[in-house]
Amino acid sequence: MKKYQLGEFEEVVMLTVGVLYNDAYGVSIKKEIETRLSRKVSVGALQSALKRLEQKGYLKSFDGESTQERAGRPKRYFSITALGKRAMEYTKSTRDDLWRDIPKVALNLKIAG
């Protein structure tokens, strides 16, 4: 079902925007993902994901205050929309259903070594 489509990285970005709440802008999102997941994130990949999520209607963005350290450019902040919240809930529910339906024996594996 393609009701709500969130790729793995998009899901991570959405969750991180939620975690950061009022402080979710490009650099803070990148740092939070890298810290929490011990995973390098390129600025380009993050910007592409943010743009896609905004086009899907899952995120909205707005400009913050201009700052001297940014040569007068404002930070672009992101927040989750109602549609984005539904997409996140759908994704979580789908994953939870799949985990719940795995027979216990299927995960009772021994590591060879």
**Is the dihedral angle over the CA atoms 41, 43, 45, 46 positive or is it negative?**
positive
> pLDDT band for position 109 (50/70/90)?
confident
Tell me how far apart the alpha carbons of residues 33 and 17 are, in angstroms, rounded to a whole number.
10
Run of H or E including 75: strand 74-80
What are the b/e assignments for 31-63, b being 16+ CB within 10 Å? ebbeeeeeeebeeeebeebbebbeebebbeeee
Say what the pLDDT of residue 43 is: 96
This prediction has a pTM of 0.85
Mean of pLDDT values over 9-23: 97
CATH (residue range 8-107): 1.10.10.10
